[in-house]
């Protein structure tokens, strides 16, 4: 059972990594997810398949969408199967499809019934610089998905790069 503060739950079982994201997913509470993505890329987690459950997510900002795009990019780079994403929330689905995440994920619009024991992922104590880099990298992953996203978010990436320089 998830409690209100459990926004990110994670488990890795037999090389399958499960992410369950709940509530309002904003850049202000994304450091735990970013840390998980970084651990995945640095091979500290041994994942051969990824599953993301967004059935309890009520809102996602572009930083979180970019973190999802990073997960998809990880799978592509490792030549793993496309990650599976479960979402029954109409507003979240609209956002996922409008940003073309259906090209990077197998999106399943139904509830999940997995009985995986998941651990709550805590926010990481990021500095302002680390938070800025997290937001930048998330948006870079988002624009790497396709031209439409590049048109939409390139200015955000440019401003972030200037601010972080």
Q: What is the pLDDT of residue 6?
A: 61
Helix (H, G, I), strand (E, B) or coil at 16: strand
- Kindly provide the residue ranges of all beta strands, DSSP E only, lying in the chain, ordered along the sequence: 8-13, 16-25, 49-60, 84-86, 106-108, 119-120
User: Where along the chain do its domains lie?
Assistant: 8-125
What CATH number is given for 8-125 in this structure? Answer: 3.30.750.24
Task: Please check the confidence at residue 52 and state whether its pLDDT lies above 80.
Answer: yes
Contact (Cβ atoms closer than 8 angstroms) between residue 110 and residue 86: yes
Helix (H, G, I), strand (E, B) or coil at 111: coil
Q: What is the pLDDT of residue 9?
A: 95
| Residue labelled with tokens 């940003």 | 99
Report the mean per-residue pLDDT for the chain.
92
Q: Structure pTM? A: 0.92
pLDDT tens string 87-132: 999 999 999 999 999 999 999 999 988 778 999 999 999 999 999 9
Radius of gyration of the chain (CA): 15
The average pLDDT across 25-42 equals 92
């Amino acid at each position: 059972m998830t409690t209100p503060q459990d926004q990110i739950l994670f488990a890795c079982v037999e090389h399958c990594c499960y992410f369950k994201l709940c509530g309002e997913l904003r850049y202000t509470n994304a450091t735990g997810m970013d840390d998980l993505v970084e651990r995945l890329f640095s091979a500290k987690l041994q994942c051969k398949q990824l599953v993301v459950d967004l059935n309890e997510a009520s809102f996602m900002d572009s930083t979180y969408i970019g973190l999802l795009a990073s997960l998809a990019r990880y799978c592509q780079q490792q030549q793993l199967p496309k990650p599976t994403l479960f979402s029954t929330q109409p507003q979240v689905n609209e956002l996922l499809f409008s940003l073309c995440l259906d090209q990077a994920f197998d999106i399943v619009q139904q509830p999940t019934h997995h009985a995986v024991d998941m651990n709550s992922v805590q926010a990481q104590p990021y500095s302002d610089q680390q938070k800025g880099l997290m937001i930048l990298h998330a948006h870079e992953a988002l624009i790497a998905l396709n031209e439409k996203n590049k048109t939409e978010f390139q200015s955000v990436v440019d401003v972030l790069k200037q601010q972080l320089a």
